[in-house]
Amino acid sequence: MRDYYIAGNWKMHKTRAEAADLAKALVDGLKGAKHKYLVAPSFTALETVAPIVKGTNIRLGAQNCAQEEQGAHTGEVSVLQLKDLGVQTIILGHSERRHVYGESDALINKKVKLALKHGFEVILCIGETLDEREAGAAEAVCEAQTVLGLAGITAADMANIVIAYEPVWAIGTGKTASPEDAEAIHAFTRKVLTNLYGKDVAEKTIIQYGGSVKPENAAQLMAKPNIDGALVGGAALKAETFVPICKFD
């Protein structure tokens, strides 16, 4: 049985003081809640949020990392620096990294391997654009991103991998894939994982949905058999919207 896993990606929002206020509100609001939770603040707020969530049921996540451990990489953040701050999970391959900053599947795969090497949990994001969906290529795109993103990753490594399906056309647009559309890609992705690693690993792998998740649609999405949680953007920026998503049932 897979546990539900709800993650909040704060993206490029929140000063340190604002991040602290939100983290404290979430710690209070989710005290005793039964699922797995994560917040991913901006790099500048990680050190502020870390002691607030430490020892609670909320994991500390980072939104990205560099593909190298250290060196002459101006503007990048190292896995060693993230570990030093107490980060437990790294989100990789987010559509904004792919489509705005041009990250390739090969680069993302290199980051996945490096993060796993250093003991992090990884949330690997996949998802198609609107043009790709309308061209009937949604499954092909998601399969390629999954297979290439996990290249060289062993079945044992998969214990520390979460997949997040985020249709690019539904991120920050207010549009949401219908629960049926989302479930179809989640079920397909689980078949891809079965082909790669076998049924046992595929059945244990958490696949989150990301794309305009709100308190109003969370329960419908989570009711689907292959949707195991959510990677939440805008609604994660306020406790009054994120907590109800986390407590959807």
String of DSSP letters for 185-199? HHHHHHHHHHHHH-H
Q: Among candidates 160, 163, 152, which has minimal Cα distance to 115?
A: 160
- Checking if the pLDDT of 172 tops 80, the result is no
- Checking if the pLDDT of 67 tops 90, the result is yes
Q: How confident is the model at residue 173 (pLDDT cuts 50, 70, 90)?
A: confident
pLDDT at 40: 98
Which CATH homologous superfamily contains domain 5-246? Aldolase class I (3.20.20.70)
> Phi/psi class of residue 41: alpha, beta or left (left: φ > 0; alpha: ψ in -120 to 50)?
beta
Q: Alpha-carbon distance 168 to 132, whole Å? A: 10
Average pLDDT estimate for 175-192: 93
* Identity of the residue numbered 151: A
Q: Is 68 a catalytic residue?
A: no
The angle subtended at Cα 190 by Cα 186 and Cα 194, nearest 5°, is 170
How confident is the model over 202-233, as pLDDT tens digits?
Answer: 999 999 999 889 999 999 999 999 999 999 99
Do the beta carbons of residue 45 and residue 19 sit within 8 Å? yes
Q: Alpha-carbon distance 126 to 147, whole Å? A: 10
Q: Alpha-carbon distance 75 to 96, whole Å? A: 17
pLDDT at 153: 98
pLDDT at 212: 86
Q: Alpha-carbon distance 64 to 49, whole Å? A: 16
How confident is the model over 141-165, as pLDDT tens digits?
Answer: 999 999 999 999 999 999 999 999 9
Helix (H, G, I), strand (E, B) or coil at 20: helix
* Identity of the residue numbered 161: I
How confident is the model over 1-54, as pLDDT tens digits?
Answer: 799 999 999 999 999 999 999 999 999 999 999 999 999 999 999 999 999 999
- Checking if the pLDDT of 73 tops 80, the result is yes
Active site residue: 94, 103, 143, 183, which one? Answer: 94
pLDDT at 166: 94
- Checking if the pLDDT of 169 tops 90, the result is no
pLDDT at 227: 98
How confident is the model over 107-129, as pLDDT tens digits?
Answer: 999 999 999 999 999 999 999 99
Number of Cβ atoms within 10 Å of the Cβ of 179: 17
Active site residue: 121, 166, 183, 186, which one? Answer: 166
Largest CA distance in the chain: 47
**Overall pTM > 0.95:** yes
